[in-house]
Structures are given as C-alpha cells and as structure tokens.
Amino acid sequence: MLKQAVGIIIPLTLLGCSSEDLETTNFGSDLYKNNYYLVNASGTEVAFHLANTEVDGDERDASNNKYWVQTLTAGADVVKTKHEHNVAQKVTFYAESRNPAGKSAKVTEKVKTDKDYNVIAWQDSNGAFGINVLRREQSNRSGQFAVRFFALDAQQVIVNGTTMTLARAGISEWYYIDECGQDIVVAGQRLDICQGSYNNSYLLVVGQQGLIAQVNQS
C-alpha cells in the first residue's frame, strides 16, 4: 500500500517570524553580526535607528520605531550595540534629535562582514544635523597616542606644531603624539586627552567648542 506523506504548512506569523527575521537567519554564525559604537556628538538627546535594506537593496523606512536601538543624552558615553545585516550588506543608519525634536539625518552604507563601526550623530555650529559611519581602525604605536580627527565644522587643527584644515564632517589621517595635554590645539584650545592611555588609538570628535568626544578604537 502506498502511503501519502502529508505536509503541514505553518504561516510564518504563527512562528513569530517576519520576512526580515528570515533574512538574517544565519544558523548561529556571527559572520553577519557587526558591533556599532554609537556616539552622540550633537549636543542634544538623540535616538539611533538601524535598518537593513531589503535583499534587493531597496531601503526600508529606518525612521520607523521598530528599528530603534538606543537613545543617548547629550554628552553620554559611547554605547556599543550589535546588529545583524542580511546578504545585501546594506544598512540604513538614522538619527533623530529628541530634545529639541524635529531634526533627523540618515545614511545608507554597505558594510563589511565581521567589522566594527563608529556611528556618529553630530550637529555643527550652525545647527545642521548629520550622521556619519566610520570603520573602527587602530594604528597603535608604542609610547604614543595615535589619534585621528572627525570635525563637526570646517576648521583648523594643530598637531605637533603642524596645522591641517578639515572640512565639515571631514576625517583626518592618523597622527602620533607624546604629550597628551600639549600637542593638540583646536579652536585655540589645547586639548587634554590624558584620560586615555598610551599605546592606544583614538577618534577625536572636534568642533568650535574644542573636544566633543574621545572614542577609544580598541
């Protein structure tokens, strides 16, 4: 006698899975999970959202509250969050000012697998609001601080007596300093980064007020 195999189809909604959940089902692999370090350099409270694009690359509405990951007050410490992207490897990063409300910015980036990123929400001296995503990198050198700069405004930075000019939202190359309280001048002020440690690498977020954030890249 022939026996008929009977299959049972269970809707995804009954399993508690959405199509987005299935896009990031990688059977326990961490390859598609990246660490993102959220930096609020805006001077206001900011909500951060992360949304994968669809597999074909079309953007989703990252402002939707279901993509919220963290809210940081002005001056809050950097917060690390882990996010899993899909095979398209494109993530939309969205930041929204909560106090005062109304300002927002987003950027979509193709990320690499198993890498760490800085996600910086910022506001320049004219009130323009933005968000940038930068790979976390290190350039450690024994007995020195390795630093690179992210500028909120177009401005000059002096390192070891050498002047460079950065554009708004510009990122510098690496510099190496010996004296953590003497070797960097921004907006006429000597920056003190001595709360850090020698032999480490730092991203320094700077603006017209001087040093906004010091982010260890380890």
pTM, two decimals, is 0.86
Quote the pLDDT of residue 26: 53
Would you state the torsion angle of the CA atoms of residues 131, 186, 139, 134, taken in this order, to the nearest 10 degrees?
A: 10
Determine contact, residues 186/157, Cβ cutoff 8 Å: yes
Averaged over successive runs of 10 residues, the pLDDT of the chain (218 residues) comes to 37 49 56 92 96 87 96 96 90 93 93 94 96 97 98 96 96 97 94 96 96 96
Please list, in sequence order, all residues whose beta carbon lies within 8 angstroms of the beta carbon of residue 156, skipping any fewer than 6 positions away.
Answer: 163, 164, 165, 166
Quote the pLDDT of residue 32: 83
CA distance 168 to 193: 22
Quote the pLDDT of residue 18: 54
Q: Please identify which residue in the block is written with the tokens 């510099």.
A: 175
33-41 and 116-123 beta bridge pairing: parallel
Partners of 163 in the beta sheet? 158
Each domain of the chain, given as residue ranges in start order, spans: 30-135, 145-216
Quote the pLDDT of residue 102: 84
CATH 2.60.40.2890 fits 30-135, yes or no: yes
